[in-house]
Chains A and B, each alone.
Chain A
């Protein structure tokens, strides 16, 4: 039993006790350590005294002991022993006398808790054994005297002592068992639960469905209790093989990403701790810890540490406000709007707060709560996940500011001039391309938990305002990205600074990012992307990291759970996400047309002009667009077209040109393989006239050998060009359609080797379709057309031949014989040999115009004359023909 003094803690080792818990009496003088075979009491005011031990006949060390915290009956402490509770009375600071044993339970007592106000009520709930899991813990509310909570595995039940028949609330807090539950000392309705799953959750019983916020430790939490001062929480985590030290952590509840302080010293897990308070001399607190290594340590919690937990006056905060205003006076430079807002907002809060502290205590607390609520709200939204375990595998513990400052950041051209941990700021300069940027970085108190630092340009910055703005934006994006993931951002920001600076100060425009808006990569929560046909890329931002983590969970649970569970989990998370509204939902639409070959300007089809003109025109456009390859191609094509013209004048096709066809084939194939459909389609459109003309001439020669395949919808090549006579190649006349209807599959087989159409047909792959080659060019152009969404539809459609629609055969009149009423197509009725159509005025055959309603009509000149004066049908059928007549002639 050696007692060692150390600079920051007092250490005492009691090897024989084998205790699991400690308890402190109401005067904070005596420490009660119930061990395995003995009970020890230590007078803390006399550190050099030995402990007083009392033998005890029990082979198990009790897991819990409770010393009445009230001054009345202050000498009584309670100890659960199997199914009963032993009461012990500490008499005269010397003796420990047994008192009546409390027997009311039928099963093992797992926890006892003394009522904080009523000394008579020691401990009521010890075991609640019902159909549900037995209670493992019980805690009285620290403010409200009627409320108590019991813990059942992962669930918490809230009871009202006045109505004990059923719980007031039933809260499913964790999926795994809760090791510790504690009521908030400053807010009546709040409590925390610490669980095996590595999270500490905060609940408010006025809104029990909602998790107020979550602290994510990386290991199972053994204990998590509110500190009696400020808004802190002392946490014991169960060491993992990976991480043995630093199991005792102090957190500030308004910053739940990083522990505030780590108590280093115990070599084994800390089993229990007690707060020792000295009401007589102000605000000093001592922390007494009991570890599995059977040592007791007493830690002085100095004022500074208490302040960090958010207690006492806010020197730091005031300092920060002063500092910001000071900075603003010094540097009236451009800030991003957002930033100004943030700083003003913070300022307001701080000012309110500082005013409050001078006025009265109450308003101070209110303001404080306000700030805290804001913080915790955003904190809960930044909560990484509800199933801490899976995330702990990947999570990197965030550095606190001090660590961050002390890490050696070595970036060329960037120098950190000064760091000030108390003011939470640092000053850096970056030099690049003869420009200097001095940057002051101010870290808000909640950094790095979801709040990035504030950047200011200091004097000596030489870059222009526009550049400053861009740099600020880049820095903010980087910082936001990092802090969103609860990572320290200083180094990343400095790297961004120098990179952005290099980019902006150099004149090389080539270096501009592919995505000029860096958000695409930094924002980056975008999880879904779509191309729409008009070559737009949609990204939308799933702003919450939760979703990813939920997915991780789903991934982790893959296969082990029935499918619906996945969505249960998903849903659970989604629910939680609903509470988070800090992010605006945005959908970003990018113009990615530059990534594709499609280009409106490059649509070079000018159907009505001569092919030479098309080629020349296209060459020019390609040149102006900087598409050298296209310029070259069009030149080539032009040359071959010219040759064709000169060598085979008039109606001769390209067959007499030795190379042109193969060249075009390979060009088109090449562009198809490059997925440059625009070029391929353009070439097809421009040159398909050669194809069909030549084909038909081939066919004309060979039609006698052709097996005519019955084609349901013969291909009509009615008008290749929009201008019938514009092209010298236009030799086809519509009467030839009979030939073309015979132009079919076997023929094409025959001419395959040299036929352009076969080339296209081969491309098409679909021989089963009669008009393969037509389809092909049409397909290419149609798809191209799709891609452009009607922007040039009219132009394209001009060159696209309809291969599968019924050709228009012209109108035929079906007339009815006036005598026998049989219908006929001819001019004369087949039955009675009388003309079916005759002029109603002159009674001669030969009809020029007729009324569509009554079917009566006549020579145009006669009818015109008639209707100049009349409105009704000259035959007297009471049809008001003049209207129809006018319509039909107009």
Chain B
């Protein structure tokens, strides 16, 4: 059913921390502990190196492509406390550098493109900064959420703009006005939902479900969904799906408890498949069946179960 499209030998000299395809799926960006970010063009199963971006002085943890309507922009965050936004103007060059964090920047995420060019950065110093590009003056404006997570923020994820579809429920209508919202997870085992209220980012609610560091939080793309879904994974080896109709009250269910720490989760575009990867060296895909139960659709590989115990 699933086939490999590309195997890309990236020329990194060290561990790859992140890889992301751009909006069209034609370019791949990777980042690594070797302090570099590389961009590849993918065509017909072959890849060509487009750019090797050097500017970080520490392992680069994460990269993120901006929506193409803003041009070819790539953001990267690193242990060196910096966030760099790269832009392709004939060739790739540094567009903006944000160095106001006091510690390693662990996670970055572009806001839905409807909000403009907005980047959220979660840092180990416990703060989240939201960088907004002002095209009129060609500057970046930053707002900080101070002490978002005590002892460090590990991940940030934006609330999608398209609100979920709930066919016959009209009671909520007026209240849900589209605001910038952000979910973050950190070393205080919490998932927090932030809302932009005027000039301020305020904590709207928090979800206390994990018993260890939250490693990744992913807000499901809401198209086709009847409610908001947030998936989170943690050092406590669990993946938890939290759902809410009103963004205030969240109901959490445990998707699964894995054998080892879960590192990363990712929703498919229609939010019907969740991919989970962790320290147990497995990637598993989960899908909700019509009864609302999550079932693993990839782990049942014959024979492999025995090999991997």
Contacts and interface: CB of A to CB of B under 8 A. Distances in A.
Interface of A: 478, 481, 492, 495-496, 499-500, 503, 511-544, 547-548, 551-552, 555, 558-559, 562-564, 566-567, 570-571, 574, 577-578, 581, 584-592, 594-598, 669, 672-675, 677, 680, 759, 762-768, 776, 779-780, 783, 786-787, 789-790
A533 B166 contact: no
B257 interface: no
Given A534-B24, A592-B2, A669-B167, A514 B298 contact: yes
Interface string B261-294: 1011111111111011111111101010010000
A548 B6 CA distance: 25
B157 interface: no
B137 interface: no
B75 to A, nearest CB: 15
Given A492-B306, A533-B25, A590 B4 contact: yes
28 contacts: A496-B303, A517-B3, A520-B298, A521-B308, A527-B279, A528-B18, A528-B19, A529-B264, A537-B275, A538-B28, A540-B18, A548-B279, A551-B235, A551-B261, A563-B126, A574-B14, A574-B15, A578-B14, A589-B5, A589-B7, A590-B4, A672-B165, A763-B167, A765-B164, A767-B174, A776-B165, A779-B162, A783-B221
Contacts of B174: 767-768
Contacts of A511: 302
Contact of A558 (B4, B176, B213, B307): B213
B23 interface: yes
B124 interface: yes
Given A524-B281, A586-B8, A595-B297, A766 B163 contact: yes
B19 A530 contact: yes
Contacts of A522: 304, 307-308
Interface residues of B, number: 100
Given A481-B308, A563-B125, A585-B32, 16 more contacts: A478-B307, A495-B307, A516-B2, A520-B283, A527-B279, A532-B23, A540-B16, A551-B263, A567-B79, A577-B14, A587-B28, A673-B226, A674-B272, A675-B271, A765-B164, A766-B173
A167 B145 CA distance: 48
B281 A526 contact: yes
Nearest to B171: A765
Contacts of A673: 226, 290
B224 A672 contact: yes
Contact of A587 (B30, B224, B279): B30
Interface string B159-181: 00011111111101110110000
Main SS of the interface on chain A? Answer: mixed
A594 B225 CA distance: 20
B304 A513 contact: yes
Nearest to A758: B170
A524 B25 CA distance: 23
A585 B12 CA distance: 6
Contacts of B122: none
Contacts of A521: 282-283, 299, 301, 304, 308
Nearest to A484: B281
A562 B213 CA distance: 14
A533 B304 contact: no
B7 A588 contact: yes
Given A521-B282, A765-B173, A768-B174, A527 B212 contact: no
Contacts of B264: 527-529
A666 to B, nearest CB: 9
B8 A563 contact: no
A574 B33 contact: yes
A485 B151 CA distance: 32
B24 A783 contact: no
Nearest to B21: A532
A414 to B, nearest CB: 13
B158 to A, nearest CB: 15
Main SS of the interface on chain B? Answer: loop
B237 to A, nearest CB: 10
Given A590-B3, A591-B3, A584 B9 contact: yes
Closest 5 CB pairs of A and B: A524-B281, A499-B303, A675-B272, A783-B223, A534-B25
A772 to B, nearest CB: 9
Interface string B232-262: 0001000000000000000000000000110
Given A514-B1, A591-B3, A533 B23 contact: yes
B76 interface: no
Contacts of B275: 529-531, 537
B301 A515 contact: yes
Contacts of A786: 269
Nearest to B236: A555
Contact of A533 (B1, B32, B269): B269
Given A574-B59, A592-B2, A535 B173 contact: no
Nearest to B235: A555
B308 to A, nearest CB: 6
A786 B22 CA distance: 13
A637 B34 CA distance: 58
Contact of B307 (A481, A551, A762): A481
B20 interface: yes
Contact of A762 (B6, B15, B170, B265): B170
Nearest to B4: A517
B108 interface: no
B121 to A, nearest CB: 16
Contacts of B170: 762, 765, 767
A310 to B, nearest CB: 31
B274 to A, nearest CB: 9
Contact of B303 (A495, A531, A567, A577): A495
A590 B14 contact: no
B307 A496 contact: yes
Nearest to B178: A766
B13 interface: yes
A515 B269 contact: no
Contacts of A526: 277, 281, 283
Contacts of B282: 521, 524
Tell which of B11, B32, B167, B272 has the most Cβ of chain A within 10 Å: B167
Contacts of B300: 514
B17 interface: yes
A835 to B, nearest CB: 43
B166 A765 contact: yes
A559 to B, nearest CB: 8
Nearest to A532: B21
Contact of B167 (A675, A762, A768, A789): A762
A567 B15 contact: no
A592 B169 CA distance: 33
A677 B98 CA distance: 39
Contacts of A766: 163, 173, 176
A503 B303 contact: yes
Given A518-B304, A527-B263, A567-B124, A587 B19 contact: yes
Nearest to A784: B223
Contacts of A764: 165
B148 interface: no
Nearest to B290: A674
B53 interface: no
